[in-house]
Structure 1
Amino acid sequence: MDCLFCGIVAGTVPSQRVDEDERTVSFMDINPATEGHLLVVPRAHARDLLDAEPDDLAACARTAQRLAARVVERLGADGVNLLSCCGEVAWQTVFHLHLHVVPRYAGDPARDDLTLPWVPTPGDAAVIAATAERLR
C-alpha cells in the first residue's frame, strides 16, 4: 500500500507530530488553512469514515476533541472547526481517514483568512421533509 498517512504513522515519512496514543497519531498539516491546523489519523488504515472501524473513528473524535481544547488553550484560538472529507467530491485528497482540527482566530487575518465555502440559504421545506423521510 502506498499511503502517505500510513508512512507518517510508521515514521518513514517525516512529519511534525503533535500527539499520539494507542489508536491515533496527530500531526501538523503541511498545507494549513490557519495557524495550528492539524490532522488526526487512526493508526490502522481506513480509506475514509465509511471504511473505518467504529472504535478507530471514536478514538479519532476523542483525540480531535483533546487537540481542539489544546489549540484554544495554547494558541489562543477563539474557536475550532473539525472537518472530515469523505470522497473525492467532498474534497478528500489523501485516502486515509483523517480529521482536520482547524483553529479559528476572530479578526486576525494573518492567522486565519478562512471563509465559509458556501452561503447558507433557506432550503425548500418540502424537499427537506421528503429527504428526512428517506433517511428515517
Structure 2
Amino acid sequence: MKDKDCIFCKIANGEIPSTTLYEDEDFRVILDLGPGSKGHALILPKEHFRDLNALDPAVAAKVLPLAAKIGAAQMKALGAAGYNVVQNNGTEAGQTVFHFHVHIIPRYAGAPKIVTWTPGSPSKEELAETGSRIREAL
C-alpha cells in the first residue's frame, strides 16, 4: 500500500527525484537533503508503513542487512570511520516524516558526536520495576 499524500512514498517510488544510492523491489536508498554528515543516507521502503510498529515483518527482515551494506559502502567510498543506524518512532523520539525510514549516518574521525546521551543511574529496584512493567506489556 502507498499513501498518495506521503512525500517518502513519492520519493521511494520515483515520483520525486532524489540522489539514489541503491534500489530494489522493496526499497530506495537516497542521500538525505538535510544530512548530519557527508553521505547521510535514508532507507525508504516503497510501501507505506507509519513506523516500526506498523512495518511488515518480511520488510523488516531486510532492513538491517541493507543498512550494513550501505554503511560498509559509506566507509569504503567516503573514508568514514564508522556509522550510526538511527530509526525514530513518534514525535517525541524525533520522527518528523511518518513513513518508516532508517538513517545511515557516516561518522568521521574528529567530527562532532551526533547520537549520544548521558547515562542514567537507576537503582536495582527501579530497574526491576521498569522491567516488570515492560514484560507485562509484552
TM exceeding 0.5? yes
Amino acid at match of 1:127: E
Aligned length: 132
1:61 equivalenced with 2:64 (yes/no): yes
Amino acid at match of 2:24: D
Q: Paired residue for 2:37?
A: 34
Amino acid at match of 2:104: V
Shift, 1:68, TM fit: 0.9
Residue 54 of structure 2 aligns to a residue whose secondary structure is: coil
Q: Paired residue for 1:124?
A: 123
Moved over 3 A (4+): 114-117
Structure 1, unpaired ranges of 5+: none
Residue 101 of structure 1 aligns to a residue whose secondary structure is: strand
TM-score, structure 2 length as denominator?
A: 0.88
Shift, 1:120, TM fit: 1.8
Instruction: Say if 1:24 and 1:59, in contact at 8 Å, map to a contact too.
Output: no
TM-score, structure 1 length as denominator?
A: 0.90
Instruction: Say if 1:41 and 1:60, in contact at 8 Å, map to a contact too.
Output: no
Q: Percent same amino acid among aligned pairs? A: 38
Amino acid at match of 2:40: H
Residue 104 of structure 2 aligns to a residue whose secondary structure is: strand
Question: Deviations 1:56-81 (Å, cap 9, x if unpaired)?
Answer: 12222221111011111111111111
Output the CA distance in 1 between the equivalents of 2:114 and 2:121.
19
1:44 equivalenced with 2:37 (yes/no): no
Structure 2, unpaired ranges of 5+: none
TM-align CA RMSD: 1.4
